[in-house]
């Protein structure tokens, strides 16, 4: 059936979103105009509270990929996606208790500063370059996918929306810095939830209420959530989602600059942890909305699937098609949903631009030009925001080759984020790991993950491992259906040549790319470290290691001390300026500034004696 396109009221609502976001950037540019430091611009002066940071984290990682892709996944494959509830919980616990304390107490701005403190400059540079590549690739998908889906369904101009997204994000990132990004994300999170709620209420009402939706979903096998098949080649099972999903999202949350930059901008470590746990509630809320939207959509199209009937050209267009269908008589409401989808896009792109600018400035620019004035540093940071805004928008053109948005985005994060997770795990958990092990492990992890990911892209898994559930077109009016069937039957089908690994290694579930990259990096790194001579624990500052064994061996002080591998976690007095490598003192600024920052981070520090009672 012919679905109406956008009308003037839809454009008004949608334009309102962009206007509010740009206004927030202007507001913080005016309000903070007297604060010229790059630290204020990039990490908000470390004065943020947990509330806006929690909203910002949820909004940044629940992008348009979630708004458009997750309901489509549930519609086609069933509600097993809801098992990400468990993955998200595990990810937040590991991030808050394992990774965040080390990053926060180290007093760093870029997560990759940690790698130089723990290993050396070479490891830091390699990780920085991989992160930049990963983020630009991912951001291209986040910009392009919703623009394409909305263009083909609503008639909204494709490249107009791509460039509008890039320009507005670059504008408020460059003007307002991190504070503008965080507060804009909080606003966009509210828009996302309102958009989802509106669709849910209208869709549920049209389909006979929530009980009827649930009944239809059950009859269509959409509620078969718990599949305990251990076959790693199956696309979505309990194990692939809980284990593979945890590794994938931990690479996104635990060691990703976008997340950690927000957390370390909090006024205290307690606020940072609280922001993460509040963010978990936000993740669950958006996931529940997206999954239930998929079930409502299935109930609506149970006997006439628009994709099979070729009313749309890709599964990612299902959600906008559904919205234009059910709100055809309500001008302005489709514009609200489009604003919902683009809220996810804007927040993710803004987070990426801000994080890329921070990483490049801290890890590359300051290394080459250590004596920059604060004013020049701030202008360079703003220039980097503009540069990455242009790059991320341009990358959207390449995203058209990536396939389904959910799988493409999580595959990129898995291939790059998994080895990075392994690298930070080596540094934070294993005191014996040395820089040679870290570098060798990173290269091994990247090689393994990209080998599997590239193979899966060239040779897709056989249909038996990822069969969508049944979709019907009984009540559809199919144009030229007989002719199409005859054409399809007449076309010769030749069996494609597939290498030996195509049905095994290359068919691995995309959620395991991160796990194999992480484990490959960690195992290889430990082996190389032992072969080349492991680090001595007493040479490593305790602030750079998280003693995980304290949780597992709480009953035995002697056993804990043994598993610390020589790291002086129990020393009563630690000379912090001597124990941390010189890079920290140099990057923090003058000696007095360093003393003040240490005093703030470590209660009990005496700047005269340079001692801190633990």
> What is the average per-residue pLDDT within 465-489?
57
What whole-number percentage of the chain has pLDDT above 70?
77
pLDDT tens for residues 338-351? 777 777 677 777 77
Dmax (CA) of the chain: 88
pLDDT tens for residues 516-552? 999 999 999 999 999 998 888 777 888 888 887 766 6
Residue 247's pLDDT is 92
> What is the average per-residue pLDDT within 52-64?
77
Pairing between β-strand 611-613 and β-strand 573-574 as defined by DSSP bridges:
antiparallel
In terms of phi and psi (left: phi > 0; alpha: psi -120 to 50; beta: otherwise), the region of 397 is alpha
DSSP 352-364: HHHHHHHHHIIII
Q: Which of 344, 43, 276, 281 is nearest to 180 (CA)?
A: 43
Q: Which of 201, 203, 198, 188 is nearest to 341 (CA)?
A: 188
> What is the average per-residue pLDDT within 434-438?
93
Going from the C-alpha of 148 to that of each of 223, 273, 404, the distances in angstroms are 30, 37, 12
Q: How far apart are CA 45 and CA 179, in angstroms?
A: 9
For residue 573, the SS3 value is: strand
CB-based burial of residue 544 (10 Å sphere; 0-12 exposed, 13-18 middle, 19+ buried)? buried
Task: Report yes or no: 106 and 584 within 8 Å, Cβ to Cβ.
Answer: yes
Task: Report yes or no: 99 and 424 within 8 Å, Cβ to Cβ.
Answer: yes
Q: Which of 491, 487, 65, 476 is nearest to 308 (CA)?
A: 476
Q: How far apart are CA 538 and CA 229, in angstroms?
A: 46
What whole-number percentage of the chain has pLDDT above 90?
17
Side by side, the strands of the sheet bearing 573-574 are 573-574, 611-613, 605-606
Asked whether the predicted pLDDT for residue 423 surpasses 90, the reply is yes
Comparing 3-17, 403-417, 428-442, the range with the smallest average pLDDT is 403-417
Q: How far apart are CA 123 and CA 131, in angstroms?
A: 12
Comparing 78-92, 96-110, 319-333, 521-535, the range with the smallest average pLDDT is 319-333
Contacts of 584 (CB under 8 A, 6+ apart): 106, 107, 117, 594
For residue 605, the SS3 value is: strand
Give me the residues paired with residue 611 across strands: 606
Q: Find tokens 């109930």 and name the residue.
A: 299
Q: How far apart are CA 131 and CA 137, in angstroms?
A: 10
Residue 349's pLDDT is 79
Q: Which pLDDT band holds residue 557 (cuts at 50, 70, 90)?
A: low
Contacts of 531 (CB under 8 A, 6+ apart): none
Angle between helices 8-31 and 333-360 (to 10 degrees): 30
Q: Find tokens 């927000």 and name the residue.
A: 262
pLDDT tens for residues 283-317? 898 899 889 999 999 999 988 888 888 888 777 78
Residue 205's pLDDT is 92
Q: How far apart are CA 138 and CA 368, in angstroms?
A: 28
pLDDT tens for residues 249-264? 898 888 888 788 888 8
Q: How far apart are CA 36 and CA 416, in angstroms?
A: 34
Q: Find tokens 């396109």 and name the residue.
A: 5
Q: Which pLDDT band holds residue 96 (cuts at 50, 70, 90)?
A: very high
Q: How far apart are CA 338 and CA 319, in angstroms?
A: 10
- Which range of 163-177, 416-430, 491-505 scores highest in mean pLDDT? It is 416-430
Token code pair at residue 295 = 């079930």
CB-based burial of residue 188 (10 Å sphere; 0-12 exposed, 13-18 middle, 19+ buried)? buried
Between 404 and 129, whose confidence is greater?
A: 129
Q: How far apart are CA 359 and CA 351, in angstroms?
A: 12
Give the chain's length: 614
The predicted model scores a pTM of 0.80
Q: How far apart are CA 331 and CA 7, in angstroms?
A: 7
Q: How far apart are CA 249 and CA 83, in angstroms?
A: 13
Compute the chain's Rg from CA coordinates.
25
Q: Which of 583, 532, 541 is nearest to 120 (CA)?
A: 583
Comparing 28-42, 132-146, 287-301, 500-514, the range with the smallest average pLDDT is 28-42
Residue 4's pLDDT is 62
Token code pair at residue 463 = 């249909």
Going from the C-alpha of 436 to that of each of 127, 257, 544, the distances in angstroms are 14, 23, 18
Residue 307's pLDDT is 83
Q: How far apart are CA 608 and CA 569, in angstroms?
A: 23
Give, in degrees to the nearest 5, the angle at Cα 595 between 592 and 601: 140
Q: Which of 426, 408, 335 is nearest to 17 (CA)?
A: 335
Task: Report yes or no: 224 and 470 within 8 Å, Cβ to Cβ.
Answer: no
HEC per residue, 475-515: CCCCCCHHHHHHHHHHCCCCCCCCCHHHHCHHHCCHHHHHH
Pairing between β-strand 605-606 and β-strand 573-574 as defined by DSSP bridges:
unpaired
Q: How far apart are CA 310 and CA 43, in angstroms?
A: 48
DSSP 77-106: H-GGGGGHHHHHHHHHHHIIIIIHHHHHHH
Asked whether the predicted pLDDT for residue 440 surpasses 70, the reply is yes
Q: How far apart are CA 409 and CA 396, in angstroms?
A: 13
Residue 69's pLDDT is 81
> What is the average per-residue pLDDT within 566-583?
53
Give, in degrees to the nearest 5, the angle at Cα 493 between 487 and 498: 150
Q: What domains can you pick out in the chain, each with its CATH number?
A: 10-475+502-532 (1.20.1730.10)
Between 164 and 74, whose confidence is greater?
A: 74
Asked whether the predicted pLDDT for residue 224 surpasses 60, the reply is yes
């Amino acid at each position: 059936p012919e679905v109406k396109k956008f009308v003037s009221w839809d454009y008004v609502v949608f334009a309102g979103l962009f206007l509010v976001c740009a206004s927030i950037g202007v507001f913080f540019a005016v309000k903070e105009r007297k604060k010229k430091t790059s630290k204020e611009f990039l990490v908000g002066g470390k004065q943020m509270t947990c509330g806006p940071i929690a909203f910002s984290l949820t909004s940044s990682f629940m992008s348009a990929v979630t708004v458009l892709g997750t309901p489509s996944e549930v519609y086609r494959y069933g509600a097993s996606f809801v098992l990400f509830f468990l993955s998200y919980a595990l990810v937040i616990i590991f991030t808050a208790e394992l990774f965040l304390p080390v990053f926060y107490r180290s007093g760093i701005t870029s997560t990759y500063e940690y790698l130089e403190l723990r290993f050396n400059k070479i490891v830091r540079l390699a990780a920085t370059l991989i992160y930049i590549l990963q983020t630009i690739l991912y951001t291209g998908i986040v910009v392009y996918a919703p623009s394409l889906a909305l263009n083909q369904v609503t008639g909204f101009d494709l490249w107009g929306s791509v460039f509008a997204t890039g320009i507005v994000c670059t504008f408020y990132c460059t003007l307002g810095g991190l504070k503008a990004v965080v507060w804009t994300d909080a606003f966009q999170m509210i828009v996302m939830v309102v958009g989802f709620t509106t669709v849910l209420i209208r869709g549920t009402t049209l389909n006979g209420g929530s009980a009827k939706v649930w009944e239809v979903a059950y009859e269509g096998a959409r509620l078969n959530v718990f599949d305990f098949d251990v076959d790693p080649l199956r696309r979505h099972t309990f194990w692939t989602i809980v284990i593979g999903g945890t590794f994938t999202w931990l690479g996104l949350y635990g060691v990703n600059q976008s997340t950690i930059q927000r957390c370390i901008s909090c006024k205290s470590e307690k606020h940072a942890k609280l922001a993460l746990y509040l963010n978990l509630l936000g993740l669950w809320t958006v996931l529940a909305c997206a999954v239930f939207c998929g079930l409502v959509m299935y109930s609506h199209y149970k006997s006439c699937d628009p994709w099979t009937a070729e009313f749309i050209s890709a599964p990612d267009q299902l959600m906008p098609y559904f919205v234009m269908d059910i709100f055809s008589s309500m001008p302005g409401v489709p514009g609200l949903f489009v604003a919902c989808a683009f809220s996810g896009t804007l927040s993710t792109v803004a987070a990426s631009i801000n994080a890329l600018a921070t990483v490049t400035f801290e890890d590359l620019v300051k290394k080459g030009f250590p004596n920059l004035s604060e004013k020049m540093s701030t202008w360079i940071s703003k220039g980097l925001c503009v540069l990455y805004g242009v790059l991320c928008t341009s990358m959207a053109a390449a995203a058209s080759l990536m396939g389904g948005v959910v799988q493409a985005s999580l595959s990129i994060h898995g291939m790059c984020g998994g080895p990075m997770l392994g690298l930070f795990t080596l540094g934070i958990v294993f005191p014996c790991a040395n820089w040679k092990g870290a570098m060798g492990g990173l290269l091994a992890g990247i090689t393994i993950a990209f080998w599997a990911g590239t193979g899966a892209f060239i040779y897709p898994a056989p249909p038996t491992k990822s069969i969508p559930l049944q979709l019907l077109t009984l009540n559809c009016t199919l144009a030229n259906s007989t002719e199409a069937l005859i054409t399809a039957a007449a076309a010769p089908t030749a069996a494609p040549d597939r290498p030996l690994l195509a049905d095994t290694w290359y068919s691995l579930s995309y959620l395991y790319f991160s796990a194999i990259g992480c484990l490959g990096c960690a195992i290889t790194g430990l082996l190389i470290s032992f072969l080349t001579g492991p680090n001595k624990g007493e040479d490593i500052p305790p602030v750079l290691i998280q003693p995980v064994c304290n949780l597992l061996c709480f009953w035995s002080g002697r056993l804990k001390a043994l598993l610390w591998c020589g790291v002086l976690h129990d020393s009563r007095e630690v000379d912090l300026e001597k124990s941390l490598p010189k890079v920290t003192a140099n990057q923090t600024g003058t000696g007095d500034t360093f003393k003040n920052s240490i005093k703030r981070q470590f209660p009990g520090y005496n700047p005269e004696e340079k001692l801190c009672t633990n």
